């Protein structure tokens, strides 16, 4: 199931793996607060590091977050 083309993706995923990570539900619950912190120009990643970590790893949640930022920007 694994070939050379997969190595980089899988090893990168392992390198970013932490013992403790939040799931998609918790990320979604906190995403609105995270977006407002970032939108205000403050450092959301420092304020909510576990949300930042999840957004880096989960493409689905990251996509929703980017869309939310655009919607917030629309007023």
Interface residue list for other proteins (CB under 8 A):
1-15, 17, 19, 21, 23-25, 28, 30-33, 35-36, 58-60, 63-64, 67-68, 70-75
Query: Min. distance of Cβ 29 from other proteins in angstroms?
Result: 8
Rounded CA separation 69/75 (Å): 10
DSSP three-state, residue 63: helix
Query: Min. distance of Cβ 58 from other proteins in angstroms?
Result: 6
Is the Cβ of residue 17 or residue 46 nearer to other proteins in the bound state? Answer: 17
Rounded CA separation 73/49 (Å): 23
Let me know if 30 is exposed, middle or buried by CB neighbors in 10 A (0-12, 13-18, 19+).
middle
Query: Min. distance of Cβ 73 from other proteins in angstroms?
Result: 7
């Amino acid at each position: 199931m694994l070939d050379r083309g997969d190595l980089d993706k899988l090893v990168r995923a392992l390198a970013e793996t932490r013992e403790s990570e939040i799931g998609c539900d918790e990320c979604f619950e906190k995403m609105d607060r995270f977006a407002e912190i970032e939108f205000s120009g403050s450092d959301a990643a420092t304020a909510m590091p576990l949300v930042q970590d999840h957004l880096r790893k989960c493409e689905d949640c990251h996509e929703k977050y980017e869309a939310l930022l655009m919607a917030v920007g629309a007023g």
